[in-house]
Each structure stands twice: as C-alpha cells, then as structure tokens.
Amino acid sequence: MEDIESIRFRAENGDAEAQFEMGDMYLTGRHVPQDFFEAVKWFSKAAEQNNLNAQYNLACHYHYGQGVPQNDSEALYWCRKAAEREYPQAQLVMGHIYHSGEGVERNDTVAASWYRKAAEQGLADAQNNLGLLYQLGSGVPQDYFKMAYWCKMAAEQGHPQAQYNLCRIYFLGQGVLQDFKAAANWCRKSAEQGYAEAQCFLGELYESGNGVIQDFSEAAIWYRKAADQGYARASYAMALLYKNGVGGSQNDQLAVEWIIKASEQGDPDAQATLAGLYRSGLGVKQDNDAALKWMREAADKGHPDAQCLLGDMYSKGQGVSQDIEEAIRWYKLAADQGDSVAQYNLGILHLGNHGITKDLDRAASYFLQAAERGVAYAQYNIAIMYHQGNGVSQDIGEATKWYHEAAENGVPEALNNLGVLYLNGQGVPQDIEKALNLFEKADEQNISEAQIMLGKVYYYGKHAPKDHAKALKYFLKAAERGYSEAQNYLGEIYSKIDGNYLEALKWYSKAADQGCSSAQNHLGILYAQGKGVKQNYRKAAKWYHLAAKNGEKYAQFNLAELYRLSRGVFLNYIKAMHWYRKSAEQGYKRAQNMLYPIYHNGIWTPKNKFDLIIKYFIVLVRWIMIDIRRWLVFIFLIYIFCCCVMLLFNYFKSLVEVVKLIPFVLKSFKF
C-alpha cells in the first residue's frame, strides 16, 4: 500500500489520480485529520485535469457548502461536466437537480433523461427514480409496465426502496399481474434491510393476511420495528392493535400511549384521534385546549376528518369562540377533499339559519355532493329542494329519486314526503295504498307529519273511508308531541263530532298558544257561544283578533260581527267594515254577502251619519253604566273591608284594657 507521503509527492507534481486520493483522504479523515478545505483544494486541482471522481466530489462540496461557500451554479457546472462524461452518480444528481428544481427551473423531462443515462449504466437509485417518474407520468408518458421494469431492475440489486416500490406494484397489480405473495416477498426483502415504510406495510400484510398467513403477533413485531425508527404510521398501527384488541391484545392504556407517540411523530390520523380523545375525555383527562391543538395539527396536514371536526368546533363554539366564517373555511378544505360530512354541513350553513347570508344555490350544490356520497340527510334535503324548486329547478322526478334513496338509508321523514307524492300522484302514478303504507312506516318511527297525514286521510274520507276513531288516534300521537295542527284537529273532533267541549277547549288552547290561527278562531267561537267555558265576548274578541291578524278569514268575519253588534268590544262600524272586507277578499261568502247590502243600500255611509252617532252614543252610555256599576261594587267592597278592620281594632283595644285591669283585681283579692 502506497504511503501518504508518496501520494502527496505525486499530487504536488500534477498527478490527477493522486490529487483525487489526497482530496478523498481529507474528506474522510483517512490517514490525515478531516479537513474539508484541504479536500476541496485537492479535488479542484484534480477536477481541472478532468478527473471524473474529483469533478463529482467538487460538485457535492459546492452543493452542501463544505469547505467552500455554498454555490448551486458551481455545483451544477462541475456535476454537468462529470455527467456529460457518463459518470453515473453525476447523472443521478443531475436528475435530482432537475426533478427538485434546485438552482434550475424544474423540468422532469430533463430529469428523466439524466435518470435514464444513469439507469442504463446499472445505477439502482436512478433505476428506481425513473420507475417512479413512469408511475406518475411526470416527464415521461405514464407507463406502469416500464415502471415495473425499472423498479425490478433496482430491486434485484438489493435497493430497499425499489424493493418496497415493487412490492406495491405487485400488490396493486400495476404493470404486472396482481400477486400478493410476490408483494409480500419483496416487502420482506426491503423490511429486512431496515426500510421503515416496508416494515410497516409488512405488518399490514400480516394483520390482513394478504400474501402471508394472518399473524397478529408478527404484525406487531414489524410495526414495532418501523415505529422504533420513528415511522409515525407504524406507531398508530400499534395503537389500533391495542385499541381494537386484535389477536387478543386489547389494552386501552397502551393504545393511548401509542396514539400519543404517533401524534408526536406527526401522523395526522393519530393526531385527529388524539384530539377526539381529549375532546371526549376518553382515556385521557378532558382538555379542550389539547383537543384544539392536535385537531389543528392534523387539519394543517390536510386531514379531512380533522378539518371537518375543527369546522364543527368553530360552528358550535366548542373549546373556541364561535366563528361561522372560520367554520366554513375548515369545512371547505375538508369538502374539497371529498369529505361528505363537511359537504352536508356546508349545505346546512348556506340555508341561512346560522348568521350567514342565505345561498340556496350553494346549499343545493353541497347537499347534492354529499347525497351522491351516501349521506342520508343530504339526500333528504336535496329531495326537498328539488320538490320545492329551491336552489335548483323544480324536478319532482329527481325529488322522488332522492326521497327513495333517503328512505332506504333510514331517514323516516323521507317516508312521509314520499307518501305525499304517491297520495297526490306528483311525479309518480297515484297509489293510495302505497302512500298509506309509507305513512304507517313513518308513524312507526314517530314522524308526526305522517301521523297528521293519516289523521287527515281518515278525518276527511277522501282517500280512504272516514274513520274518526283512527283519525283521533293519529292526531292524538302528533298532538302529544306538541304539533299545533294536530291539536287543532283534535279540538275539531271533540267539539264538532263528540260534543266534548271541555276536551276541545283544552286542545284548542294548546294549539292557539302556539299561534295556530284556526285554533285561535275556534277558541273564540267557544267563548262566544259559551261552550265548555263561561260565555265571554271579550275573550272571544281577543282570540278572534289574534287569528284575524294572522289572516284567518273566518276569524276576520267573526271579529267584524262583534264590532257590528258591540259584543265584547265598542261598537265600531269602521272596524267591522275593515274586517268584513279582509275576509271577503279571501273569498269568504258570508263576508261578501254582508258587504253587498252595506255598499248597495248605503248603510254606515255619510247620509246616515246622525243615526250612526246616536248608536255610538247609546253604546258609549251603556259601557259607562257598566263601568259605573263595577266601580260601585268595588267601593262597596272597600267599605265592608274598612268596617271589618275597625271592628277588629276596637275588639283588640277592649282586650288590652281588660288585661290592664287584671293586676288591680288580684290586689283586691289579697285584702
């Protein structure tokens, strides 16, 4: 072996090989102290004499800034010189440079050209990289056969990444016949060389039993090998083994420990899971701040579930200040990745009930996306929008289709709406039997709208024989759940059919208190007629007025009658005319019949003004007399009360005087 002094002598005398040897010794610290500056000096001398190894090494020093200031232009210059002289490692680096765009404009076509030159010289790294470009179709036409060819060339040279890539090729059947056993074989070769990604995938193969005999213990061994190298996905896989108890190894505490480890290693699935644990307090102490931190970590990595959950937190103000705009931002990020729950939530927000501007077009678009991915309530909502023509063109056929989808996916409300379509023959042939069947299925799931529909069917007898007992049964179910329409119908059945005015009063009152104008009118009638309650025109007027303001034409007529007859209100023909007109404009015949003689015969017009004033005066006096009587009764009661108080006062005063005499009486007895 030549000694160092001899090599130095030759190098100083211009021998390029000796100059390279000197540079390599200073680079590696072999026989001399490591010194990058000296290494660069000798590599430069050799490179100037076209020594390929020296040119390549000098390029590396300029690229990494070792012994010289970092300089991509110089690195590219020397690397190109070596590459053009068919130095395979330099050609590989040229491929890297153009693929990454370091110091040059990125160009995968040029990168593929350099990789090919090196690959054809048998360089495994270049063969593997060229195979990946063929897989992606980047810089070359996508070609799975060529991908498989080049990856196999590298794999057969023992290249661990290429072996793993070839494993995936066989597993997916890309460019080769799908072969799980071959996939497992190449995966094992890579894993045994310590390639963490292959170790993790080999664990997955053992867990699933693809290409190997299923063995959870073996799966855990390979997961742990990858996890010990810091491979986050393997750590999360270990967590799932313990969490799910696969192979009888269920251990919640160890599962949480592995989830935390995988999260700290950066696995977004683990981070999203850990956020959920902190949010719920399962296995860890409940901590909204920690939940938010890990949720954001996963969301920032593009994890759609985490983005959607973060949207939920901002939407509901859970652990953060409520911020609908921020919720929409996160939902959109998840929705753009195809997250169906986020798409559904965006649809709900754009309906305009959450402090943002209503946008039915966007709502329909998001509901349709989620519906096509099988979200049941998105299918129900888009069906309603097609049914009503909101945000989309009205299309009963599409509405029917989506109601069917939603119903099959367990949305009971869809059964009711579908029943309405079949009952009325909208978009489908009319089928009363099918409609009733759908209503009954919805009734079994306590859908009050279906119960009301069934009640109406049996109450009116249009689509089935009248059966007031059945109608009562169905209306009662919905009424007890607080539906005012059903409560109003119960009132009608009890008052008009059963004659049970007390029960009618009860249900009309419940419905009227919820603003049901028909019930308010019926309640007014009960008070006006004194049925089930003491007759009281003032209360009747109150309920008529509430219903009339809500547009109830019958109540408008009834209120006009009270003003005309001065019952419970002051006589007022002007108000009577107003309410008659309102009722008549809605087509109520009795109101129209009342208006005809008023206009035709000039009743309540200026020519009868004197009579009108006299009538007003008489009514006014009558009301004043009623009030005087009330005041007299009130004053009399006050007088009686005062007399009682005085009597009690005198009684107690006398009692006190008697008590004062007791000592004197006792003294007289002593004598």
Q: Are 284 and 293 in contact (CB under 8 A)?
A: no
pLDDT at 637: 83
Whole-angstrom Cα distance, residue 309 to residue 315?
10
Tell me if residue 336 falls in helix, strand or coil.
coil
Whole-angstrom Cα distance, residue 283 to residue 278?
8
> How is residue 170 written in tokens?
């066989």
Question: Dihedral angle at the C-alpha atoms of 628, 633, 639, 640, nearest 10 degrees?
Answer: 170
pLDDT at 628: 73
Whole-angstrom Cα distance, residue 253 to residue 587?
74
Q: Where are the alpha helices (DSSP H) in 50-136?
A: 52-64, 72-84, 88-100, 108-120, 124-136
Whole-angstrom Cα distance, residue 423 to residue 443?
16
CB-neighbour burial class of residue 649 (10 A; exposed 0-12, middle 13-18, buried 19+): exposed
The 8-class DSSP code of residue 247 comes to G
Of 131, 426, 537, 253, which is closest to residue 417 (Cα–Cα)?
426
Q: Are 203 and 234 in contact (CB under 8 A)?
A: yes
Which residue matches tokens 């660069």? 40
Q: For the chain, give the number of residues.
A: 671
Triad 450, 456, 461: Cα angle to 5° = 130
Tell me if residue 269 falls in helix, strand or coil.
helix
Distances (CA, A) of 665 to 651, 654, 655, 656: 21, 17, 15, 15
Whole-angstrom Cα distance, residue 557 to residue 539?
16
pLDDT at 606: 47
Of 69, 125, 70, 45, which is closest to residue 93 (Cα–Cα)?
125
The 8-class DSSP code of residue 608 comes to G
> How is residue 617 written in tokens?
């005066």
Residues of the chain predicted below pLDDT 50: 606-607, 671
Question: With left for phi above 0 and alpha for psi between -120 and 50, is residue 427 left, alpha or beta?
Answer: left
Q: Around Cβ 593, how many Cβ atoms within 10 Å?
A: 11
Triad 295, 298, 303: Cα angle to 5° = 115
